[in-house]
Chain A
Amino acid sequence: MLNTLNGLFIAAVLAGTPLLLGALGEILTEKSGNLNLGVEGMMFMGAITGLAGSYYYEQAVIGSGGNPNGAVSSVIALLTSFAAGSLGALIYSFLTITLRANQNVTGLTLTIFGTGFGNFFGEYIGQKAGGYVAVSEVTKKAFSGIDIPVLSDIPVLGPLLFRYNWVVYFAIAAALFMTWFFNRTRVGLNLRAVGEDPATADAAGINTTVYKYMATVIGGGICGIGGMYMSMVTTSGVWVHNCVSGYGWLAVALVIFATWSPARGMLVALVFGGLTIMRMYINIPGLPAQIYDMFPYIATILVLVITSMRRSKEHAQPKSCGLNYFREER
């Protein structure tokens, strides 16, 4: 029983990490008042560019007779996926902030664009590489579980806390940093003001355009890293068609579940991840697998109902979210 629960916990962390990264990116975006529904698209863009970055780095090093380095390869994947996610978000920002296009429509278009972008280049690079694209053993090793001396060997706690791949710790660090940033820094306070009421923030001398651009672009980059997790960790560095397959939408639901709080995001990502793989660990006799697959969505609906009943002002969507701000319309 205890073993099953341990197994469930570890599997939930692994399944929850891409959701957490996607949700963190979207929380940062929404805090600036932009509702970017293109998380799925930005994750796809991050997934393929992260993989491509690592792959081409390896090819270049092997081509010049050297040995690729796992750490360098990881950093390149991180940076390229961040850049691709940011690029997607930059298109979104330009359309909604500068040109004031409808946020919902632009976000949905970005999802469709990113999905096509990822699958097209995944297939293209695969065809050029002779059928399929996969990173080498060195990079695969770099993205598998780490081994910290002493800590990883503690019975029970070791595997439970200290044996994940580095992206898991990166995601947790990002969540903690964002919590501190929102609640303890001047810039974070300004950003929240922009998201709540851009007109007031503008009057107080905050440059709303810069805040909106920065939050949305960096948020998109974090979503891109979530996509990289799918291609580098979940599918072990092999490009698989449609590998993000709905995780971006789960991440958007997770933002609501987390009530726009990064710290809470960690907990609910764990719960969400757990719900997606629960049927493999806990068997309720007679319950069909399809019902299990609904659990994450049922949980989202329940949370929506409960939060709307409680009407907590602190844990609500930023007030101007979804609305474009135009100074001359004040």
Chain B
Amino acid sequence: MKKKMLSAFLCAAMAVTLVAGCGAPAADAGKDKGGDSKKEASEGIPKDEIKVGFVHISDPSDMGYTYNHDLGTKEMQKELGLSDDQIINKYNVPEDAECDTALRELVEAGCNIIFATSFGFEDYVKEVAAEYPDIQFCHATGFQASDSGLDNFHNYFASIYEGRYLAGIAAGLKTETNKLGYVAAHPFAEVISGYTAFYLGAKSVNPDVTMDIMYTNSWNDPTIESQVAKALIDRGCDVISQHSDSTAPATTAEDNGVWQVGYNNDMIAAAPNASLVSPRIDWGIYVTEAVQAVIDGKEIPADWCKGYADGAVYLSPLNEKIAAEGTQEAIDKAAEALKNGELFVFGGPLKGVSPDGEKIEVAEGDHFPEQEEASAPSWQYIIEGCNVVQ
């Protein structure tokens, strides 16, 4: 009997330690000192009372997407002078019902504005937003806010395709095999728009270049990302770029002696002899604006999208040690043209077919209105030269 008791106790101890382990990262959630929303959002909220919540698919250790978005949070915190316990982060939340739980926990903790940063969170955000009209919900990379009929549900993104186009120039000039490789997350418009822009940038300086694209079917899975990068290198690709969250493609490129163009973060630290340049988003601009709007009791736009000209999209410093000669000049020239409105990334003539078989043709002198009407990317057509391997 004693032994049975002891074994039951030990099993319970293991379970309790587990719960403690899961709970600890969000431990600061418990420290709220009565943040019940007695004031209407329209009247604004004093700066020292506001609480800001974040739901992330990963944590800053990815040194990519979540790391970069977290920098935006820190920028906002510094700009507005919020204390640490006014910001609650939920890390490593998968794109399933756990997201719903995380959002509700943030509501319970007294958050006035909540940011959800992964594409697959959108349905849960929409559902929870409908139940709490006094709390503002901002979802990155989504597309449903403007049609949802909810005043407190917003989408935001940046024209990252402009940054990818510029980074593509570095890849196009560097490649020796004229074959680029792209580690792509999902066959969604956000990803297709990104790699098409990257390819068009490379093609603008190197007409012979082609690109192989392989999907990981996951936003953040370092194991598969590095395996896919290796497979692309084995196919003869000598510049690897990525639409995935971690630095695994960069370290794989480094190990195999090829080059790489990152995303979200300056990956030169992870791969000093491989990483050329990375397009990045400055999330701080939007996060600061949105939190400020709640403090002032102003409305947040349903769709928010800024690009290269506004500094919301920028390139990390070029790795001069390994970049081809004249890369910086070529990038500067294209960047200038993008800013002046002389150059459109998706400018005609351009022909493509979507994965569903839908065709599009952009005429000479015309351009596709990417991210102009809504904040979410909508270019979902695969053009000639892009070879999807599956």
Residues of B within 8 A of A98 (CB): 3
Indicate if the CB atoms of B231 and A281 lie closer than 8 Å: yes
A3 at interface by CB-CB < 8 Å: yes
* Complex: A41 Cα to B167 Cα, angstroms: 41
B223 at interface by CB-CB < 8 Å: yes
Indicate if the CB atoms of A124 and B251 lie closer than 8 Å: no
Indicate if the CB atoms of B7 and A95 lie closer than 8 Å: yes
Indicate if the CB atoms of B255 and A11 lie closer than 8 Å: no
Indicate if the CB atoms of B59 and A11 lie closer than 8 Å: no
Residues of B within 8 A of A289 (CB): 215, 217, 390
The CB with the most chain A CB atoms within 10 A, among B62, B226, B390, is that of B390
Q: How many Å from the CB of A83 to the closest CB on chain B?
A: 18
The CB with the most chain A CB atoms within 10 A, among B11, B17, B20, is that of B11
Residues of B within 8 A of A126 (CB): 59-61
Q: How many Å from the CB of B249 to the closest CB on chain A?
A: 11
Indicate if the CB atoms of A123 and B91 lie closer than 8 Å: yes
B97 at interface by CB-CB < 8 Å: no
Q: How many Å from the CB of B264 to the closest CB on chain A?
A: 14
Indicate if the CB atoms of B389 and A234 lie closer than 8 Å: no
* Complex: A79 Cα to B58 Cα, angstroms: 29
Given A7-B231, A126-B59, A280:B214 Cβ within 8 A: yes
Q: Which of A65-73, A241-249, A301-309 contacts B (4 or more CB under 8 A)?
A: A241-249
Residues 25-42 of B contacting A (Cβ, < 8 Å): 25
* Complex: A120 Cα to B222 Cα, angstroms: 19
Residues of A within 8 A of B389 (CB): 280, 283
A99 at interface by CB-CB < 8 Å: yes
Q: Which of A104-112, A148-156, A174-182 contacts B (4 or more CB under 8 A)?
A: A104-112
Residues 231-272 of B contacting A (Cβ, < 8 Å): 231, 234, 246-248, 251, 255
B292 at interface by CB-CB < 8 Å: no
Residues of B within 8 A of A277 (CB): 227, 231
Q: Mark B199-228, 1 if CB is under 8 A from A, else 0.
A: 000000000000000110100011100111
Residues of A within 8 A of B19 (CB): 116
Indicate if the CB atoms of B223 and A245 lie closer than 8 Å: yes
We find that the number of chain B residues with CB closer than 8 angstroms to chain A is 45
Cβ-neighbour of A238 out of B14, B24, B223, B247 (below 8 A): B247
Indicate if the CB atoms of A132 and B60 lie closer than 8 Å: yes
Cβ-neighbour of B22 out of A101, A116, A245 (below 8 A): A116
Residues of A within 8 A of B22 (CB): 116, 119-120
Residues of B within 8 A of A238 (CB): 61, 63, 222, 247
Indicate if the CB atoms of A240 and B62 lie closer than 8 Å: yes
* Complex: A234 Cα to B369 Cα, angstroms: 41
Indicate if the CB atoms of A131 and B10 lie closer than 8 Å: no
A91 at interface by CB-CB < 8 Å: yes
Q: Mark A3-24, 1 if CB is under 8 A from B, else 0.
A: 1100100010001000000000
Q: Mark A244-286, 1 if CB is under 8 A from B, else 0.
A: 0100000000000000000000000000000001011101000
Given A15-B227, A124-B24, A281-B231, A240:B246 Cβ within 8 A: yes
* Complex: A289 Cα to B221 Cα, angstroms: 15
Indicate if the CB atoms of B15 and A119 lie closer than 8 Å: no
A209 at interface by CB-CB < 8 Å: no
Chain A interfacial positions (CB closer than 8 Å to B): 3-4, 7, 11, 15, 91, 94-95, 98-101, 105-106, 109-110, 112-113, 115-117, 119-120, 122-124, 126, 131-133, 140, 144-145, 230, 234-236, 238-243, 245, 277, 279-281, 283, 288-290
**Which 6 pairs between the two chains have the least Cβ-Cβ distance?**
A120-B21, A280-B231, A7-B234, A132-B61, A116-B21, A116-B18
28 contacts between A and B (CB under 8 A): A15-B227, A106-B11, A109-B15, A110-B14, A112-B15, A113-B15, A113-B17, A116-B19, A120-B24, A122-B61, A126-B59, A131-B60, A132-B62, A234-B226, A236-B247, A236-B248, A236-B251, A238-B222, A238-B247, A241-B61, A245-B221, A245-B223, A277-B227, A280-B231, A281-B231, A281-B234, A289-B217, A290-B217
Chain B interfacial positions (CB closer than 8 Å to A): 3-4, 6-7, 10-11, 14-15, 17-22, 24-25, 58-63, 67, 70, 91-92, 214-215, 217, 221-223, 226-228, 230-231, 234, 246-248, 251, 255, 389-390
